[in-house]
Amino acid sequence: MSTRRAVVHRIVTAAPDDVSGLERAIAQGRIVPGAIVAIFGKTEGNGLVNDWTRGLAARALRDLLGRHAGPEAAERVCLVMSGGTEGGLSPHVTVFEVREADEAAVPGALAIGHAHTADLRPEQVGRLAQVASVADGVRAAMRAAGIVDPDEVHFVQVKCPLLTSERIAEARGRDADCATADTLKSMGLSRAAASLGIAAALGEVGALEEAAIGRDFSLASSRASASAGIELMGHEIVVLGRGAGWSGPLRIDHATMADALDVEPVRAALARLGLGAAGQLVAAQRARLVALLAKAEAPSDGRLRGLRTTMLTDSDHAATRHARGFVGGVLAGLVGHAELYVSGGAEHQGPDGGGPVAIIAEAP
């Protein structure tokens, strides 16, 4: 019986453009380059508008994929580079493959779907046009994964664009106004619109007004993760969940942290995957933990459980950098290592100050 099997690898990187680990895995036959559908990366830049480590990493990965799978196949791969490995977070890439398998389908096996959207015009970033574009892309990725029920989606990762001075000037040259002239704020607005697009596709929100984007945080998705970057103007979308016709040992579950200290929902998700419910994971359990994906956000009131923080008032470091480092440490303490995909900026991604978490593990 022909099915699809999801295969996921974590590979350490020594620099943003270091693809030697992926090269070795391909040479050893552990990774099939033509089967790669997505790569998530944590790069050691600042994660802000001027973080070129994302583009450098994407270029190095695209060149490698072009050599091994061909240029057309390389262009179909979703490359989601998330800048910022503050604190103890370890730079790495997570490689997602979809292979054909001659084996029976397994209920609950990990399913992966991906999609690309058309480029936006600068004036569409952070607005309802972006929400609609992402919603359509998420639905397309669900269809690709064979996921019919939105409740079977456990995590949606979107790489979305941001505005630069040049892009804003180009729009103004056509008498078009952008949602903001502040390039840093454009990152948040783009993540916000992309996240609401995910929420719309999953039925988590109803009709939206443009004024709600980046402002009404009562509207949110419990399974959205959006990362903005300078390296594209469209969207690269990856849906992770459970669908028909999939096999293999990988399973996925998700949780929602109410704030940056809220590890109990994550602990419960680990337990549902058979990874224990008390204390830090033991070595055998860590070996079965394939990937942990999370969003991190500074609370909008600047307080964590009633206590004042300086995340929003630090003029040296952006709040997203504080949030990544803090949440990365909290989750690393729970699972016993810091090779985690923790992305900052969680506008409409979980509750204010919290964020979604997804866990991929091998079945016991």
Q: Which residues are catalytic?
A: 159, 227
Record the tokens describing residue 70, joined without a space. Answer: 């061909």
Give the integer Cα–Cα distance in Å for 287 and 290. 7
Give the integer Cα–Cα distance in Å for 159 and 237. 7
User: According to DSSP H, which parts of the chain are helical?
Assistant: 20-27, 53-69, 71-76, 128-145, 165-172, 183-201, 264-272, 283-288, 319-335
Q: CB-based contacts of 332: which residues, under 8 Å, 6+ apart?
A: 88, 89, 338, 340
Give the integer Cα–Cα distance in Å for 174 and 129. 18
Give the integer Cα–Cα distance in Å for 129 and 171. 15
Residue 227: how many CA atoms within 13 Å on its side-chain side?
Answer: 32
C-alpha distances in angstroms, 116 versus 6, 141, 197, 272, 300?
19, 9, 14, 32, 31
Query: Measuring CA to CA, which residue among 251, 233, 325 is closest to residue 288?
Result: 251
